[in-house]
Amino acid sequence: MLKLIRNVNVYAPENLGIKDVLIASDKICKIADEIKLESNVEIEIIDGTDKLLFPGFIDSHVHILGGGGEGGFKTRTPEIMLTDITTGGVTTVVGTLGTDGTTRNMASLLAKANGLEEEGITTYIYTGSYQIPVKTLTKSIMDDLILIDKIVGVGELAVSDHRSSQPTFNELAKIAAETRVGAMLSGKVGIVNVHMGDSKRMLDLIEEIIEKTEIPKKHFVPTHMNRNPYLFEKSLEYASKGGYVDYTTSTVPLFIEEGEVPAYHTLKLLLDKGIDTSVVTFTSDGQGSLPGFDENGNMSRIDVGKVTSLYDSVKDAIVKDEIDISLAIAVITSNPARIYGLKTKGNIEQGKDADLVLVDKTSYEIDTVIAKGQIMIKDKEIKIKGTFER
């Protein structure tokens, strides 16, 4: 089946100007000023007038199976549904377990990722949870990476947090080493997605590994780097040396009052310091819990993260901070695709997957979402629902 998006302003994420974009099955097969087809060819035309075309968004930290549980069993957050993802323009997710690696496990995470893939989007997963030893699918990090296509790394592994297993230098270095070699042998990049807590130790362990071992920094993606002012300051220093930094978009007003740096505003703060934002990704932490703790370490409140916060934050960066559109959308398109080695994702280019988002050119609101050539949302209306969505 062919689809032609006509007369649309393409951000690939670099701005290509007004183009026609032809989709054949699940791939982008041509981008040109004007594409003419024989009149007898069956084709679906999508009018892109007054719209911007972005690559489908990549959210590389989503609790697709649910997360949480920090306040007992009733606080385990529910599984994500397809449209929780697609209504946010997201067409690729990397699923992660989280605090609880006991009542949730890798077999269920893989099954959920397979289910979402059957429903139309692209999914990957991390092996493990907050804890060490890492609870893998095959009993080995290296085997998981080599044998399971969907596994792109380890995570989210918690450090500098009261919920972490308190890994030592040797333990974390071994995990990174296994990730590196497993990824090399399977043609992947191999990412250790590190959950950062509020401890003042911050990136100490990661920096020590980069300094004392041969493991390159490209394997580490520390996340939640905007969760407090000192960790955000640290992220500026780490990013200026070429380290990857991930900022979390799901939040609640109380967290911002307590000093969390709103994800949307991080780009302006980085650019003001002259830091190259190609090392930055945004992720939603979607469907994870957003627990608050009192001074005694007891959970005092809990909310659920939303995947839709991902693009909302990028939109805020464009609208409120006047960040360049290409630069802003790169943190949820081309940057994660490059950092995670997702070769067919993240750019509007001939031969790449037809994952595309059309937005209104003035409000930047999502209008149409296409995942692997299939229209998931059209004219702001959901066209494809998840199996159990009504």
As annotated, the active-site residues are 285
Rounded CA-CA distance 193/389 in Å is 31
Name the residue nearer to Zn ion (CB basis): 195 or 217. 195
109 touches 64 (CB < 8 A): yes
335 touches 326 (CB < 8 A): no
Q: Strand pairing of 57-62 and 27-32?
A: unpaired
Minimum Å distance from CB 164 to Zn ion? 10
Minimum Å distance from CB 223 to Zn ion? 6
By CB under 5 A, residue 188 contacts Zn ion? no
User: Which residues lie below 8 Å from residue 75, measured CB to CB, with a gap of 6+?
Assistant: 68, 69, 289, 291, 299, 302
Rounded CA-CA distance 329/56 in Å is 10
Closest residue to Zn ion, based on beta-carbon distance? 195
Rounded CA-CA distance 67/302 in Å is 12
Closest CA to 262 of 305, 331, 313, 306: 313
Amino acid at 11: Y
Minimum Å distance from CB 130 to Zn ion? 8
Instruction: Report the site for Zn ion in 349-368 (rule: CB under 5 A).
Output: none
How many binding residues for Zn ion (CB under 5 A)? 2
Minimum Å distance from CB 126 to Zn ion? 11
Measured CA to CA in angstroms, residue 264 lies from 165, 207, 332 at distances of 31, 26, 12
By CB atoms closer than 10 A (0-12, 13-18, 19+), residue 372 is buried
Instruction: Kindly indicate which of the ranges 188-196, 256-264, 333-341, 379-387 contains the residues binding Zn ion, using the contact rule CB under 5 A.
Output: 188-196
Name the residue nearer to Zn ion (CB basis): 193 or 335. 193
By CB under 5 A, residue 104 contacts Zn ion? no
Minimum Å distance from CB 156 to Zn ion? 5
Instruction: Report the site for Zn ion in 141-160 (rule: CB under 5 A).
Output: 156
Instruction: Kindly indicate which of the ranges 174-182, 193-201, 310-318, 321-329 contains the residues binding Zn ion, using the contact rule CB under 5 A.
Output: 193-201
By CB under 5 A, residue 195 contacts Zn ion? yes
Residues making contact with Zn ion (CB under 5 A): 156, 195
